[in-house]
A and B are shown apart, each in its own frame.
Chain A
Amino acid sequence: EIVLTQSPGTLSLSLGERATLSCRASQTISSSYLAWYQQKPGQAPRLLIYSVSSRATGIPDRFSGSGSGTDFTLTISRLETEDFAVYYCQHYDSPPFTFGPGTKVDIQ
């Protein structure tokens, strides 16, 4: 089973700042099967990024993904009010398709 670790646990930033979220896998994730989701309280997760760096439909270009192998990054270039949420990475390489524990981005 691939274990995903996310850091930091909480990121406190101001509007307009850059957010950098990390996701590290316990083993290499092949074929770029790594996704990022955003979740707000009381809502279902929302797909932001798939295949490490491809933005899902309707996702603003301030969200970008990068990485390979075992180290992956979600970057939000300039935080807007609606971006304060919890972010999860997930691999879908081989089952079980585990999620990371999440990074909470909150307002400083």
Chain B
Amino acid sequence: EVQVVESGGGLVQPGGSLKLSCAASGFTFSGSAIHWVRQASGKGLEWIGRIKSKTSAYATSYAASVTGRFTISRDDSKNTAYLQMNSLKTEDTAVYYCSRSTMTTNWASDYWGQGTLVTVSS
């Protein structure tokens, strides 16, 4: 069974840092791309960024709102991707989802985790 599970959310002060994890199972993690998407309470979905597979040199892309503050990485040996969030702002408060995409769905995100809540507040 394909699964992606986020962890690492919590309460952090403005200006602080937090690292989220996305643990995958049930599929060939190394051949997939991993995306991070967030959703503030009562709001829509916001794509944050993506990391491609090793065959694409682990290329990353980010939304303008997080460029320079957030970094996506992955460890294929652990079937896990990460979202390092620095210089956090109150507006980064949201549920953070990771998802995988593969060639099977022409790189649309077909499996999503249940999300982890990040609250940025003093």
Q: Which residues does B use to contact A, with CB under 8 Å?
A: 35, 37, 44-47, 49-50, 61-64, 97, 99, 101, 105-110, 112-115
Contacts and interface: CB of A to CB of B under 8 A. Distances in A.
Contact of A33 (B64, B97, B106): B106
Given A35-B105, A50-B108, 5 more contacts: A51-B105, A51-B108, A56-B105, A57-B110, A102-B45
Interface of B is mostly: strand
18 contacts: A33-B107, A35-B108, A44-B113, A44-B114, A45-B37, A45-B45, A45-B97, A47-B105, A47-B108, A51-B106, A56-B105, A56-B108, A57-B110, A92-B107, A95-B49, A96-B47, A101-B44, A102-B45
Given A35-B108, A51-B108, A99 B61 contact: no
A100 B46 CA distance: 9
A32 interface: yes
Contacts of B37: 45, 99
Contacts of A100: 44
A99 B44 contact: yes
B61 to A, nearest CB: 3
Contacts of A56: 105, 108, 110
Contact of B115 (A35, A44, A57, A97): A44
Interface residues of A, number: 27
Contacts of A101: 44
Interface of A: 1, 32-33, 35, 37, 39, 43-47, 50-51, 54, 56-57, 88, 90, 92, 95-102
Contacts of B107: 33, 92
A50 B105 CA distance: 6
Q: Which 4 A-B pairs have the closest CB atoms?
A: A95-B61, A50-B108, A44-B112, A35-B108
A98 B45 CA distance: 9
